[in-house]
Amino acid sequence: MNFLWLALLATALADNANNNNNNNNNNNNAQQTQQSAAAASTSVSSSRVYSDEYGVLQFQNFGFEGYFYNVKSIDSSSNDSCTCEINTAKPVSFEGAISPLNNEVSVHIRGPINLQKFGYYVADDYTYGQTNGSWSRLAYYNSDDLTAENVTFLGNVGENVTCLGKALDYVDSDGVSAASKSTVLSNVTLHSNEELVIMSNVSCGDSGFSKDCGVYRDGIPAYHGYYGTTKMFLFQFRAPEEDSVSEDTASYNMPAIWLLNAHIPRTAQYPTNANCSCWSSGCGEFDIFEILNTTEALHFYSTIHDYQGTGDIQTGLANEGYLERTPDAVMMGGVVFGSDGTATVFLSNSTSFDETISNSNLNSWISKAEESESEHTMTLSSVTNTVNGAVSLENNWWTLGLLAFMCVL
Ligand SMILES: *[C@@H]1O[C@H](CO)[C@@H](O)[C@H](O)[C@H]1NC(C)=O
Ligand SMILES: *[C@@H]1O[C@H](CO)[C@@H](O)[C@H](O)[C@H]1NC(C)=O
Ligand SMILES: *[C@@H]1O[C@H](CO)[C@@H](O)[C@H](O)[C@H]1NC(C)=O
Ligand SMILES: *[C@@H]1O[C@H](CO)[C@@H](O)[C@H](O)[C@H]1NC(C)=O
Ligand SMILES: *[C@@H]1O[C@H](CO)[C@@H](O)[C@H](O)[C@H]1NC(C)=O
Ligand SMILES: *[C@@H]1O[C@H](CO)[C@@H](O)[C@H](O)[C@H]1NC(C)=O
Ligand SMILES: *[C@@H]1O[C@H](CO)[C@@H](O)[C@H](O)[C@H]1NC(C)=O
Ligand SMILES: *[C@@H]1O[C@H](CO)[C@@H](O)[C@H](O)[C@H]1NC(C)=O
Ligand SMILES: *[C@@H]1O[C@H](CO)[C@@H](O)[C@H](O)[C@H]1NC(C)=O
């Protein structure tokens, strides 16, 4: 029961911190920005003093009314002039279930991982536990026969400029070297700290603040992410213990699979200037399976990085439970985002990657995982972050004052 109490306390504290999030944005130093966009944060949440293994991790009440700032301009012409601006005059508002992760997202994989299958699915709506209806597959990768439908394999393997880091580019079939065109990933094992980005095969139009993909870095192959409120991502993978690179390597033996707002990798995933990405203003990251440190090398945690009830985007909203990483066995599972505001993360050896997945099947995979190792649910607080929050508060006082004045009269 400990964790419940602490979660409530943390939520209450976070509510207080919430209004301050804009101030925090600009305080993010480069190191923090680099670490957290990597889903590689090793920071420890002070509220997480209790955790246990579960079969299913769930967030409820996910999605809120808020906003973030998108990048307005990027100057990448030289290391000396390298800079970016965010458009604080035109905040991007969002609201409703799963927001802001209802935006298009990119998929990120960090070794040691051997990705064997990937599927992206959508449905019109989904309520956790529903057994009627089904999901349609809109993107698919299978390393057995090198099937790749509606996927583009990318990585941060392009030109390096100070404020932005390395540019997004196509990766070769080895998953790590740059390629000149879209190439299907082979059945390879990424090592520690090697990362892969997966986007759809739908090309972006021109770069521009009001264009379909917003502003993106010059010269990159720019693709749309995967859209939808009601969406599901499934993975089949091995996450073997690292056996090839030195223990000094960054993120040594810390495999992870996560989602970012697709704007982030198209501008800069690891900027040294936080204004080169919408990440620090809260456009969204969802860590599906993430090893946070080598002490807990077999514990996959799941974390949301946005401002729904916290002002500390770096730490984010971490589900207190974890799923088990089995380095010697193939793992299958993923995340289901429901129109009811649930995000359900599970591992199940029953997972299939068929073109259509019925909710009766999905529900049986999840409920079996839950029966064997129970479920840990974290309910997020209800939050409204309006752009002019402070102004409307002032207006309220002004209105009250006027009313009081009229009463006196
Ligand atoms: C910026 O500096 C890096 C590292 O010194 C170098 O590799 C890169 O070519 C430079 N980029 C530009 C655009 O000058
Ligand atoms: C599932 O059943 C519910 C309750 O009968 C109904 O409201 C909903 O429309 C059904 N959904 C689908 C996708 O068939
Ligand atoms: C893919 O590679 C893994 C690890 O090397 C291996 O276990 C698996 O059998 C390979 N799959 C295929 C289809 O070759
Ligand atoms: C994108 O993928 C779909 C599904 O495999 C395919 O039908 C379509 O031709 C691809 N489009 C491009 C531009 O490669
Ligand atoms: C990019 O270059 C900078 C120096 O300009 C260096 O500090 C940084 O480590 C490089 N980044 C990568 C990913 O190589
Ligand atoms: C590919 O994925 C994108 C995801 O955003 C979707 O809009 C598009 O319809 C998909 N293409 C196919 C052929 O399913
Ligand atoms: C980021 O943008 C904000 C708002 O325009 C500005 O105050 C801040 O100085 C910028 N930070 C950097 C590192 O350029
Ligand atoms: C490792 O990560 C877990 C989960 O965040 C945390 O509880 C633990 O304190 C961390 N251990 C170390 C040594 O940082
Ligand atoms: C899946 O099967 C493997 C191999 O039998 C086993 O080690 C692992 O615990 C199973 N995973 C789940 C989530 O049941």
List pLDDT tens digits, range 90-130: 999 999 999 999 999 999 999 999 999 999 999 999 999 99
pLDDT of residue 386: 87
Find the 53 Cα to ligand 1 centroid distance in Å.
45
Lowest mean pLDDT of 246-250, 360-364, 393-397, name the range.
Answer: 393-397
Q: Do the Cβ atoms of 350 and 365 come closer than 8 Å?
A: yes
In this predicted structure, the answer to whether residue 142 has a pLDDT above a threshold of 60 is: yes
Can you tell me whether residue 137 is helix, strand or coil?
Answer: strand
pLDDT of residue 51: 76
pLDDT of residue 388: 66
Atom of ligand 3 nearest to the CA of 330: 7
Residue identifier of the C-alpha nearest atom 3 of ligand 4: 150
Q: Which ligand is nearest to the CA of 123?
A: 2
Percent of the chain, pLDDT > 70?
82
| Helix or strand (DSSP H, E) at 73 | strand 71-75
Atom of ligand 2 nearest to the CA of 124: 13
Confidence of residue 183 (pLDDT cuts 50, 70, 90): very high
In this predicted structure, the answer to whether residue 187 has a pLDDT above a threshold of 50 is: yes
**Mean per-residue pLDDT, 15-43:** 33
In this predicted structure, the answer to whether residue 133 has a pLDDT above a threshold of 80 is: yes
Confidence of residue 387 (pLDDT cuts 50, 70, 90): confident
Atom of ligand 3 nearest to the CA of 240: 4
Global pTM reads: 0.88
Find the 378 Cα to ligand 9 centroid distance in Å.
25
Q: Do the Cβ atoms of 272 and 122 come closer than 8 Å?
A: no
Higher-confidence residue of 267 and 20: namely 267
Task: Give the C-alpha separation, 136 to 126, whole Å.
Answer: 12
Lowest mean pLDDT of 30-34, 100-104, 195-199, name the range.
Answer: 30-34
| Tens digits of residue pLDDT in 44-82 | 333 444 579 999 999 999 999 999 999 999 999 999 999
Find the 150 Cα to ligand 4 centroid distance in Å.
5
Q: What is the CA radius of gyration of the chain?
A: 21
12: number of Cβ within 10 Å: 11
pLDDT of residue 390: 34
Lowest mean pLDDT of 2-16, 68-82, 132-146, name the range.
Answer: 2-16
Of residues 152, 167, 166, 237, the one with CA closest to residue 198: 152
Task: Give the C-alpha separation, 172 to 152, whole Å.
Answer: 11
Residue identifier of the C-alpha nearest atom 1 of ligand 7: 275
Confidence of residue 373 (pLDDT cuts 50, 70, 90): confident
Higher-confidence residue of 2 and 183: namely 183
Q: How do strand 231-238 and strand 113-122 relate by DSSP bridges? A: antiparallel
